Every structure is written in structure tokens, then in C-alpha cells.
A and B are shown apart, each in its own frame.
Chain A
Amino acid sequence: MKSNKINNLGLAALVASTFTFSYNINAEVKTIAIDGSSTVYPITEAVAEDFQKKTGTKVTVGVSGTGGGFKKFCRGETMISNASRPISKKEMDMCAESGITYIELPIAYDALTLVTNKGNDWAKSMTVAELNKIWDSGSSVKNWKDVNPAWPNQPMKLFGPGADSGTFDYFTEAINGRAKKSRSDYTASEDDNVLVTGVSGDKGGLGYFGLAYYLENKDKLNAVAVVAKGKTEAVLPSETTVMDGTYQPLARPLFIYVNGTKGAFDKDVKAFVEYYIANAPKLVKEVKYVPLNTSEYAAVNKHWQGKKAGSGFNGTAEVGLKIEDLIKRIKD
């Protein structure tokens, strides 16, 4: 009796596994596939959630990081790629090789925020030069008084994102002049909550990450106002200062890249992108990022309607580029 049972079980499993392999794997599944940056993820998730509820079109969002997202995008596996930095030269070549074009759409701002411990009552503002002195490659700053003699003798403990993150690329570009040029003897984590815990637990702590993480942890951290190059006024990161362009140079645009070969002409993808641009002002705020100005969204929408492929950065990340100028550049 018992042997029969096992026998049948084995047979059933065998049949099932044969089915698994013989099943037609090219079946058309109608889904808008999105992948890419973890920074842009919350915005796209919010849009995808609402869009799917409204239209019934299925949307999936993955988190492979900006670089991993572009790899899939350039192989044609995804229709839209989330990116916290512009597409790089290497990725542009990769896409060109497989004949995939892309429409570059800025959809929100993120403000990289420098944070200190609640007990830090001296460094309320810092200049770009001071930040460069701290974070530059080969920097030997180990104490707050080494940066500014007015600051106390307090050992400095640095926290920042890992070298694979777009945040790291942008910060190093803006502060040290070249992407990925940074000292490496700091506590690095891809999880910003780890950085929050680190800075809030060390009186001499200094770290940087996206504004949303600061806003959620205001009770544990201080934000540092930044004095841009050639300016005298220290500016704190906030929705207002990012939108009026005074928080420089650490406000960065976030992008989605839409497949311009197939995606831009697909009915569902088109509807999704239009919904994205139209609802971004509300949804971006809801997930605690900074929206573009109304005029900027209008420019982005016009750019989308024109379906002009290409990147305004041409492979090199630039700091402080205005959205309108960027779009004009793609058009030319």
C-alpha cells in the first residue's frame, strides 16, 4: 500500500516537471516592466500603485540599482528604467549596440543632506571647500578642529553610502570635482537607516544621504546648511530651497528613462508615462521627495510628447544643470 503511494507521488512529480519544461515560454504577458534605482523606487512605486488601480494595467518595479537597471533596459528587458544619475557613456554604448533608444525624463529632485549628531552645536553650516577638505580622497581630517579652528576638539566620525550608489557618485562629483573621488576610510552602508543610526549615536558624527531620511529622523539628527561656491549665504535643504534652486550644489534631479524604440509607441507605456508626469507633483511630495516646478514639468511633458531620444548629459554627470537647459540640449 505504502509503496504505491510513494510510487504515485514520484510519477506525479515527474509528469509535473515535464510540463514545466515543455510549457511554451514565449507566451505574451502584458506587463509594464520597470527596474533600476532604489532612490527613485518609492516615486515609481507610488505611480505604479495608483496607475494599476485606475487602469488595471499590470506594472512591476524592481530594485537593481541605477547601473543594474540600465543593463536590463539596454537588453530590452524593461520598458522604463529608474535612474538617480544620468545614463553613462558605457551604458549609452550598450544601448546603442542593441539598438535601443531612450527618452530621458527628469521627474523629481532629491536633496543630498549632510547630517550631524543632535549634540553637535558648532557645525550649523559648512562651505563646499570645508566639505571637500573632509571628503576628498587622501583627506587626513580626523577631528572637527582640523576643518575649522573655531570648532571644538572632537574626533570626527564619517558615514556615507557605498561606492555603488548613485548618491555617492553625485556627492563626490559635486564636492570633490569628480565622480567616485572620495576618501574611503568612512563607515559605508547601502542602507541609509544604518547611517542614521551611526550619526545619531556619535557626537562627532557626520554623514550624507537623501533628504527623505533626514525628514523622517529630524528628532535624532541636525541638517547642515551648505554654502555654495562663490556664495556667502548658508542654505538648509528643504522643498523651497531645492525648488527655487538656492540649495546648491547638492540638489540633484532623478530620472526615468523610457524605451524610445518600442515603449514610447506602446499604448500602455504611453498611458503610464503620461500618468507619471501628470501625477508627479502630488505623488513625489507624498513620498517625501522634492517635485520639479510646474513650468519644469510642463517642459518635461512637452519633451515626452516630442519623443526625442537621447541624453542631455552625453555620458558625463554634471552638477547644477537646469531642467529646461537639459531638455533644450537634447532637442538640439
Chain B
Amino acid sequence: MEQNKVDAEHSLIKPQTLEEVRTMIRTHKRNDFIFSSIGLLTITFALLTLLILFVDLVMDGYPKLNYQFFTDFPSRRAANAGILSAWVGSSLIMLVTFITAVPMGVAAGVYLEEYAPKNWFTDIVEINVTNLAGVPSIIYGLLALGLFVYTFHLGQTIVTAGLTLGLLMLPIVIVSTREAIRSIPVAIREAAYAVGATKWQVVLHHVIQYSFGGILTGIIIGMARALGETAPIITVGALTFIAFLPPAPVTSVAPFISFEWLQSGFTVLPIQMFSWLSRPEHAFHINAAAAGAVIIMLTLVMNGTAIWLRYRIRKNIKW
């Protein structure tokens, strides 16, 4: 029995005759072809679904997809209603999310990968972080409601929403930072140590530099996910009708920077879209389609930027 198995394996690796070699190559080529066909079919199907969805949204929302749509506040008249407060709200929240989640996430990733001792504690942290990346977003909303709104009294404001989405994004940033760092060859680190670099220098000049592309991809994918989130944002108290903008972050009097906007109420694009979709008038459904097209476009642009940046940065790395 044992002998037979070994023989069989051998015959795969070392065919006996020329005929057997040809058969083997033919089989493998056929398998290759079958696999790549299935792969192509799958990806075509996925892309086609997205494309149909997108084209359908654009076609439905086409009458509204103009400059005015971006500069009008919501209104009871569908023709005058726009997404100004929604896109401004979404952008400001993304800004807060970025500022909080990115430094913390990258730092945590670097620490876990480069500094943390390998013991049971870091094992638990590692398992938890990976788990957190898959926790349903509503859980983050409930956590944020208890923590930011009721404990820290930050109110139902942009800063609360930004921190909530920051929490949501944190595990994604940590995981992608660690993945990116792991892909750096050990030789690079050893070379740096060999010429006398300290650990901090190695991390700052080499590890972060070379993993920057991967980290950036993680950040942008996390941001794109956060952009489309509704559940946690509703939980912390997003508004539906808000026809004014938060105070401008830049003022004409010293100190020229104002943080008042953090205290403002807000709405975001997905909520605006949902609100329109549940209205009885068909004209509002057109607005909803247009808002949906805008969200998809933003996500595509963000993901596209991620890919482009990764490509650019990879090209500049010369090991």
C-alpha cells in the first residue's frame, strides 16, 4: 500500500516515458484553462452586477446629477432637494475618523508587530483585534452611544460620529498595517541593524516606509467602508433634516482655526438616501438614486486612489 502511494506520487513528478510527459502537460494545461475560465466568469459576474447596479442608479438619478444637487439643502420639494448638508457631514466625519483611527491604528499595528513580546497577552489582543474587524457595525454604534454620548457627554455631534466610525475602522487599519509589515523581508531589518541602526530608526526609516503602500490601502478601504455605514451613525443620533452647515473650520479672526464644527449636528449621505427612498413621491426616489450614484462614485474614487498610491509607492521602493 505504502509503496504504491509513493509510486503514484513519483509518477506524477517523474513520468517514465515521453508519452506520459505529454499527457501530463496536456492535463495540466486543460486544468489551467478550466480554472482560469471559472475565475474569469466569476469576476465578470461580480463586475457586471456592480456595473448594472451603478448604471441603473445613474440612469434613474440622471435628471438630478447636476451641480445644484451638490449645493442644495434637503427640501420637501423633491426638485429643490440636494445633498449639501449630507456630503459636507460625510466629509467632516471622515476627517475626524481619519485623524483618530489612522495614527492609533498604525501605531498599534507597528507595536504589535515590532515591539510587543510574544506572550499570552499579545495573543489575546491579536485574536480580539482580528475578531473586531468582523463585528457587526451596529455593535459599534451601541458602544459609542453608551461611551461617547452618555459617558463623555460629547452629544449627538460630528465628533461623536467621527469617533464611532474611527472605532469601526481601527481594527481594519491595525490588521492591514500588520499584514503590510509582515511582507517586508527580514533581510532588510537585519541589514539596517547591521549598520548600527536603533530599533526606532529601523521602524521609522524602513519598516513604515516599505509598508506604507499596504497601510495606505488598508486605510482607504476602511474609510470607504465607514463612508457607507448607516447603522452606527443612526444609533449615535444622526439627523435627517438639517438645512445648515456646521461652522466653518477656518475663521477670519485669530486663532483662525475653529473647532466649533465638531459640536454640530449632522446627517450623512446614506441616511439622506434612505430618507428619500422611504418617501411616497416618486420624484424623491430619483433623488435617492442620484445620492446612491454619488456614494458609489465616492467609494470607487477612494478605492481607485488606494490602488494608484500603492502602485506609485511600490515603484519607488528599491531594495
Q: Please name all residues of chain A whose beta carbon is closer than 8 Å to the beta carbon of B208 when the two chains form the complex.
A: 3, 6
B260 within 8 A of A: yes
Q: Please name all residues of chain B whose beta carbon is closer than 8 Å to the beta carbon of A49 when the two chains form the complex.
A: 74-76, 241, 243
Question: Nearest chain-A residue to B275 (Cβ)?
Answer: A63
User: In the docked arrangement, what's the CA distance between A265 and B165, Å?
Assistant: 37
Report the contact-size class of chain B (Cβ under 8 Å from the partner): 35 or more
Q: Please name all residues of chain A whose beta carbon is closer than 8 Å to the beta carbon of B155 when the two chains form the complex.
A: 25
Task: Flag if B76 contacts A60 (CB, 8 Å).
Answer: no
Task: Flag if B277 contacts A60 (CB, 8 Å).
Answer: no
Q: Please name all residues of chain B whose beta carbon is closer than 8 Å to the beta carbon of A148 when the two chains form the complex.
A: none
A212 within 8 A of B: yes
A193 within 8 A of B: yes
A136 within 8 A of B: no
Interface size on A, residues (CB 8 A): 49
Contact of A20 with B100 at beta-carbon distance under 8 Å, contacts A27-B263, A63-B240 already known: yes
User: In the docked arrangement, what's the CA distance between A203 and B241, Å?
Assistant: 37
Question: Nearest chain-A residue to B75 (Cβ)?
Answer: A49
A77 within 8 A of B: yes
Q: Please name all residues of chain B whose beta carbon is closer than 8 Å to the beta carbon of A133 when the two chains form the complex.
A: none
Query: Taking each of A38, A46, A52, A60, which has the highest tally of chain B beta carbons within 10 Å of its own beta carbon?
Result: A60
Which B residues between 61 and 112 are near A, CB-CB below 8 angstroms? 74-76, 96, 99-100, 102-103
Task: Give the contact stretch, choosing among B128-136, B181-189, B220-228, B278-286.
Answer: B278-286
A-B contact sample (5 more), CB < 8 A, given A20-B262, A48-B241, A49-B76 = A17-B103, A59-B243, A72-B237, A210-B280, A283-B76
Contacts from A to B (Cβ < 8 Å): 2-3, 6-7, 10, 13-14, 16-17, 19-20, 23, 25, 27, 29, 31, 33, 38, 41-42, 44-46, 48-49, 52, 58-64, 72, 77, 190-193, 210, 212-213, 215-217, 283, 286-288
Contacts from B to A (Cβ < 8 Å): 74-76, 96, 99-100, 102-103, 152-156, 159, 204-205, 208-209, 212, 237-244, 259-260, 262-265, 275, 277-282, 285
6 contacts between A and B (CB under 8 A): A3-B204, A17-B99, A17-B103, A46-B76, A61-B241, A191-B277
